[in-house]
Amino acid sequence: MANGKPVATGSDFNIKRRTVLLGAAASAFSMPFIGGKAFSQSTSGQLRLSAWAGYISEEMLAAFEKATGIKATYTPYGTNDEILSLMKVNQGQGFDVIWPALDRVPNYVEAGLVQPIDEKKVEWDRCIDSAIKSSETLGAVVDGKRYQVPTDWGTEALAFDTAKAPLAYGTASYSDLWKPEMTGKVTVRGHSALVGLALWLEAEGKLSKPFLDSFKDEAAMRANYDVIVKEAIARKANIAQFWSNQNEAQGAFRTNGCVLGQTWDSTAAGLMQEGLPVGYISPKEGALAWMEGISIPVGATNVDQAYAFINWMLTPEAGAMYAAHAKVNTTAKGAEALLPADSKAFFQAAYPGDALEKLWWWPVQESWFVELRTEYQDKFLGA
């Protein structure tokens, strides 16, 4: 069971063996071979999927239909809380496939919103072994049953204007966001900015309890967050804009004068693809790392089609197409052979040296922690 167990570290996950897929143009893949020998599972019918905004393209839907005969419709959402709330209101009805963050899967299980994965129906040999194993402790397995198939992973670290706020690996730190010279020039997401700040304060010896351990103890977490939010409020003038989704984070750099931010890797990759002078680097405290995957709601009416989609997503061609569009890292074996040079260059620049070993993996976020982090985020935002 994921609840209460220590999470996997960067070395546990063996990131260096993962597929690197960031920032490619979707048009680079014409994908005429999907639906041929690369994918033999074929069925018919329809599929209702809901995933993060920007994750699914029309080209992907067309390729999936060509490969399987299944007509898929796509409903986007912007945050984990948005899709969780919607599923609660609809009591697990409305979609055949959803895409929650792995550390939030136990929240869905607790609410009775997702069904156990029938592991015999999943083509596990297509998925990177380390992703399968590590997902067990990151939230996919609850009480001995698996509720999600891992499809992708990514990070939240430092996006920066290469001319106005240059950063270098080894010295780049979450503390850069809070320096006096960054007043009115920073963008962050409320709740995760507090976690980045926590990692910096912990490195400075300013937290009363080890931060990761406090995910198992609400009293210890509150003691830490009292320190964290006080520091954040004192430096709030640095924040020009808070973001809650990728469009907002990118807009902070495009139009709102931000030169530094704590953002997703895909946010920076997209800005770079537009030609903006933006870089992305892991801080010395460790980039915040997350994994995601596909879960099947209890109210799914097209279950066979859901498994067909899972297995299609794990083909090299679909994994590459997905990563090219969404700018995330796929768990599909063999997709790295389809990568263009600029995708590899982005990854190498973002995670140089020992950055992969220092990744800070989000532990399972129990319901009490989600409520607590929201409480302290609201204190920060409202100050």
**Interval 50-74 mean pLDDT:** 96
Give the span between the Cα atoms of 295 and 319, in whole angstroms. Answer: 17
**Single pTM value for the model:** 0.75
Residue 80: name the closest of 186, 185, 156, 163 by CA.
Answer: 156
- Lateral strand order in the sheet of 97-98: 71-77, 46-52, 97-98
Domain boundaries, the chain: 10-154+290-350, 156-288+365-382
- Model confidence at 39: pLDDT above 70: no
Predicted confidence band of residue 41 (pLDDT cuts 50, 70, 90): low
Predicted confidence band of residue 36 (pLDDT cuts 50, 70, 90): very low
Tell me the average pLDDT of the chain: 88
- Model confidence at 274: pLDDT above 50: yes
Lowest mean pLDDT among 75-79, 270-274, 276-280, 344-348: 344-348
Give the span between the Cα atoms of 358 and 78, in whole angstroms. Answer: 28
Residue 109: name the closest of 364, 288, 292 by CA.
Answer: 364
Helix, strand, or coil (residue 71): strand
Dmax (CA) for the chain in angstroms is 59
- Model confidence at 167: pLDDT above 50: yes
Give the span between the Cα atoms of 272 and 318, in whole angstroms. Answer: 23
User: Within 13 Å, how many C-alpha atoms sit on residue 92's CB side?
Assistant: 16
| Strand partners for 297 | 114
Token couple for 214 = 């406090």
Give the span between the Cα atoms of 23 and 340, in whole angstroms. Answer: 9
* pLDDT in the model for residue 43: 65
Residue 315: name the closest of 292, 303, 333, 337 by CA.
Answer: 333
Lowest mean pLDDT among 1-5, 160-164, 215-219, 268-272: 1-5
**Interval 282-308 mean pLDDT:** 96
Question: Could you tell me the fold of the domain covering 156-288+365-382?
Answer: D-Maltodextrin-Binding Protein; domain 2 (3.40.190)
Residue 351 phi, psi (nearest 5):
-130, 65
- Model confidence at 275: pLDDT above 90: yes
Higher-confidence position of 327 and 68: 68
Assigned superfamily of 10-154+290-350 = Periplasmic binding protein-like II (3.40.190.10)
- In the chain, beta strands by DSSP E: 46-52, 71-77, 97-98, 141-142, 145-146, 149-161, 186-188, 239-242, 260-264, 278-281, 288-294, 329-330, 360-361
65: DSSP letter: H
The percent of residues in the chain predicted with pLDDT above 90, rounded, is 75
Q: What is the pLDDT of residues 311-323, one digit of tens each?
A: 999 999 999 999 8
Answer yes or no: same fold for 10-154+290-350 and 156-288+365-382: yes
- Model confidence at 1: pLDDT above 60: no
- Model confidence at 379: pLDDT above 70: yes
- Model confidence at 78: pLDDT above 70: yes
Q: Identify the helix (H) or strand (E) that includes residue 228.
A: helix 218-234
Q: For residues 321-356, b (16+ Cβ closer than 10 Å) or e, as one string?
A: bbbbbbbbbbbbbbbbebbeeebbebbeebbeeebb
Predicted confidence band of residue 125 (pLDDT cuts 50, 70, 90): very high
